[in-house]
Structure 1
Amino acid sequence: MRPDEILSEKLARLKLQLETLKLHGHKFVEFTGDNNWIAKLGEQASGFAPALPAGSGELKDNVAVVTPGKASSGAGKIESVAKEVESCELCPLAKSRTNTVFGVGDAKARLMFIGEAPGRDEDLKGEPFVGRAGKLLTDMIKAMGYERGDVYIANIIKCRPPGNRNPEPAEVDNCEPYLKRQINIIKPEIICALGAVAAQTLLKTKTPISKLRGRFHQYQGAPLLPTFHPAYLLRNPSAKTEAWSDLQMIMEKLGLKIPDK
């Protein structure tokens, strides 16, 4: 790789890091002086971790300096964000995971499903919803007239919590900026939140899923409809009727044909 290509790659990674830091609450100020610092930055960029934790000592007074229009230009490809997540060490889940579970599907999908967190099977494979609950989700997607690859599937949390426990608030806070960037890139027409944890986290509420489902809410500028998690439906098959009603609401909003009973 040529020196200019190495520099370009390092700068792209740094821009992604700065974007993540911004979403984590760090302040940014514009630098309008001499841009000769960019050449020097290439020599220093290799010292940055793929995902820089807050409070790591690399920032002064929690302020990062960037040139105008530079911070967001590197976040246009979802693959780049996925690579950044692979190297994330913002919380202890990084030590217990087998794989990160970023997301799967069409990066231009009209419909995005968001679940809670990876389980054992997902952690082993590095893909969301691949166990029994994943098979049911695939069947639900097909019932809507889609294939699994036509939609996008992700989770609130990108690493498996030990023992499949519910995510801790700090873990949600660490992962949410990545999820927001996924949504900003995909720009789905509708988001379907699977289960209480996903719905309550996205909507910042403690309202039970039974009261959240059945109507549209808003998240990141997109209509969001909560429904029951496929794992819950496996334990409570009688709730499938309500879940199918939720999916039909999504289908109607997307202009999809609803099959006759």
Structure 2
Amino acid sequence: MPVTTFDRLACPLDGQPLTRQNNAWQCPQGHSFDIARQGYVHLLPVQNKRSKDPGDSKTMVAARQRFLNAGHYQPIADALNKAVLPGLPAEAACLDAGCGEGYYLRQLGQAVPDGINMQVIGLDVSKWAVLSAAKQYPASTWVVGTNAHIPVPDSSLDRVLCVFGFPVFDEFARVLKPGGRLIMVDPGPDHLRELRDIIYPSVTERPAGERAVPESFQEVSRETVRETIVLESGSNISDLLVMTPHLYRAPAEGLARASELTRLQLTLDVRIQVLEVN
């Protein structure tokens, strides 16, 4: 099987290696972290939480699961896979940093070719997202945690994915092996433009989409993915709104206009940037 779980976790309290003992991960200092019935582990200490229930809510995760599993963002997943796979060693390890409900890691797992054995791990601050991911794809290791303190050892990963996420470049550089690659996916200026035109009184122009290259990395490539999709029902449009920050940013009048839609043609416009650690 080309995809397996990642087993080199580190204690979030002292950085020591974790060893699986029955239904828990334990470190030499005696810290122990139970493995949930669904297969994930919670490695987000209370002192690293910004709220009682951080990250995406249960409702947001459910909407994203329905929307993504319907295939609306398949062009983005396909382009991401093409950016990840070149140059992988025969024994590789990949982290999805901010994995959500695991869609992109599942898509990558299906695309790994014969001859490559890839250990995969998904990390998200939302316990609801990780719970959903673990239920759908037990082939991966799933962890509740934060990109600010990734619970894996130094130089242990060949790839890190950050898809519409919040990058912490120093941490990404720490966990990547020499020559390892970070694959960033960010919205371009026209991403979901038609929806934004409907829900906002005026649309603020977005920047081109590529982030500046941090000193610890060098750019390998950048690509624009631009596709047109059509949402054929009000429920699909509602799920898209619920899974994005637009639901909380848009005025009530804009959300009311969106709620009346039964069909919407949308532009997908994303930038994929591949960075290699120095």
The structure in which a higher percent of residues are helix is 1
TM-score normalised per structure 1: 0.23
TM-score normalised per structure 2: 0.22
Compare relative contact order (CA 8 Å, sep 6+) and give the higher one, 1 or 2. 2
